[in-house]
Structure 1
Amino acid sequence: MFSQKLLIFVGVALFIAINFIVMTMSSRESIPTSGIERLFITITSPVQQAVTTTIHFTQNVWDTYFMSVLAVKENIELKKQLGKAIEIKNRYEELELENTRLKKFVNFTGQVLDTYVAAQIIARDPSPWFKTIIIDKGAKDGLVKGSPVVVSEGIVGQTIKVANDYSRVLLITDRNSAVDALVQNSRVRGIVKGNNEDNCSFVYALRKDEMKEGEMIISSGLDQVFPKGLKIGRILKVTKVHSQLFQDITIETSVDFDRIEEVLVFKNDR
């Protein structure tokens, strides 16, 4: 075992010495002409070429790896920047939509003499038996039980429970809701009742009264809750039964309750 290690050591040392001699001789201006030099060059050139090729290959691999790492880092950073840009764009679009809704409020409130407070809808009742929402304004903002809640499109409902910072609003589509109303053109009176669906019913309109589809129903102001003249909805369907004293009238509400996000609440200082 010792002799094999010694032979390997001697061989490596000899190889290094030969390479050193050849490199020294190759650096001279004159081209080697002796047989020994040519023999040395013949023996060592393939090895030197292999070593050089291996070094170049290793360097190329390292450069490629290094560039790949930089590319991955740069890609991650660009994705972060893109994500931030998309987030800013979404916020900007959301602000634009909110600005459009608030402009409608401003135009609407310019025609109303009562004082009001703007509120955000923060929760909706998931139960199919109740149609209510929670808003982020309450007693400290001047709200009381029975405060009318509206948007620019029409009546939303009225507050039924008021805490210091929050209020629960009963929508006009709830079956417990009732709004004294009249037909805008003919002035026929009736009551708008909720039925826990998207539409409402206009009840107590006499069968003899002329009612047409598409006519607007507005608040009469006689219930002492909602100011007179606020939109409620349009007549969607009229059914007259000779054996009944009143007509069956279905109303399509002016407000899309699935899409509203902000509301106006009239304060109790009228």
Structure 2
Amino acid sequence: MRRPAGTLLTLATPIRAWAQRFAFLLLVGAAFALMLLGKADTVFVERARTAITDTVTPVLDVVSRPIASVAEVLREGQELAALRAQNAALRQENARLQHWQTVARRLQAENTALSQLLNVAPEPSTSYATGRVVADTGGAFVRSVLINAGRTMGVQKGQAALAGDGLAGRVAEVGQHSARVLLLTDINSRIPVVIADSRYRGILAGDNTSRPQLRYLPEEARPKPGERIVTSGHGGVFPPGLPVGRVATAEEGNVRISPFADWNRMEFLRVADYRMPGILMTDGATAPKPPGTPRPGMDRLPELPSASGEGGALAERALEAEAPRE
């Protein structure tokens, strides 16, 4: 005889109330039982877990497909918006580059015509040798690196060492297959530079900090943060116009430069031979003594190139500051 539905509900009500009251204890007991079963029969638990995984995986795959499709559409929409913005920026940059290309061609034509008119001697060709930085010999008193390029690749003492963005230093010692590069931040480094905009000349002096100091500026010079610093070409060591860095701080009597070269990510250095021996001696060269009474530590340096005015004085100051330390 079939029982009425009300009777089943009456019987199920106490069971449901009991289950709700002791649900936490039942779950703890079930978890404890599963732990014991897993320790007692690991093979059975592993097979059961594998079977459940095989059963649930297709269901999860079907459920995840719409979510993955929606995520893919959203990602493609974001990429499309980014591509549109990048395309607009590239179009503007292309227009600027075309303008400067036109200006550069016009200036190049004018420069060629004026050079021919004035019969200017052409600049010597430049050769390069690239070496990997294999060791950092820096310490508390030295800022230099070793590269795996030496005389066999045409590297000579005094040549400029260029990083990706600007001047990193100069070659101080050369071997057959290696060379030591004295960085701009070394305390022995003295480089004649010029402020690109105002054309005031000075000496970039390293002091073993990440930001070398700009010294011997004229009194009327007022450098501002952000101004570019390039080599001046005085002293005959480096050609004019090599990028060095930007003015970081310009306090009274203390101008600091932030070099373009990134010392923390410097893996390769390009040694450039501008064929400008200048005031630096190369290996095996004999240096004539300066006229007059020699200064201490200067009898092994060649005679200063004939430079008049502020450039010659700056180069001579650089030699006086550098010679006693080397």
TM range (shorter): 0.5 to 0.7
| Structure 1 residues 192-217: Cα deviation after superposition (integer angstroms, max 9, x where no partner) | 01110111111011232121111000
Shift of 1:223: 2.5
Partner of residue 270, structure 2:
264
Selected match of 1:234 from 223, 243, 246: 246
Shift of 1:131: 0.2
| Secondary structure of the structure 1 residue equivalent to 2:213 | strand
CA distance in 2, matches of 1:145, 1:268: 12
Matches of residues 1-270 of structure 1 in structure 2 within 5 Å?
113-240=125-252, 247-267=253-273, 269=275
Shift of 1:268: 6.3
| Structure 1 residues 234-264: Cα deviation after superposition (integer angstroms, max 9, x where no partner) | 1111122xxxxxx321111111112110111
- Long gaps (5+) in structure 1: 1-59, 65-111, 241-246
Q: Do the aligned residues in 2 keep the contact of 1:144 with 1:268 (CA within 8 Å)?
A: no
Q: Do the aligned residues in 1 keep the contact of 2:125 with 2:274 (CA within 8 Å)?
A: no
Q: Which has the higher contact order (CA 8 A, sep 6+)?
A: 1
Distance 1:268 1:183, change over 3 A: closer
Distance 1:122 1:221, change over 3 A: same
Q: Do the aligned residues in 2 keep the contact of 1:138 with 1:164 (CA within 8 Å)?
A: yes
CA distance in 1, matches of 2:242, 2:186: 18
| Secondary structure of the structure 1 residue equivalent to 2:152 | helix
| Secondary structure of the structure 1 residue equivalent to 2:191 | strand
Identity fraction in percent: 28
Q: Do the aligned residues in 1 keep the contact of 2:173 with 2:181 (CA within 8 Å)?
A: yes
Give the TM-score taking structure 1 as reference length.
Answer: 0.54
Give the TM-score taking structure 2 as reference length.
Answer: 0.45
Q: Do the aligned residues in 2 keep the contact of 1:143 with 1:268 (CA within 8 Å)?
A: no
- RMSD (CA atoms): 2.0
Greater Rg by CA: 1
Distance 1:113 1:216, change over 3 A: farther
CA distance in 1, matches of 2:138, 2:161: 20
Shift of 1:115: 1.0
CA distance in 1, matches of 2:156, 2:172: 8
Higher strand share: 1
CA distance in 1, matches of 2:174, 2:250: 37
Distance 1:269 1:251, change over 3 A: closer
CA distance in 1, matches of 2:155, 2:175: 9
| Secondary structure of the structure 2 residue equivalent to 1:258 | helix
How many residues are matched?
Answer: 156
Q: Do the aligned residues in 2 keep the contact of 1:135 with 1:167 (CA within 8 Å)?
A: yes
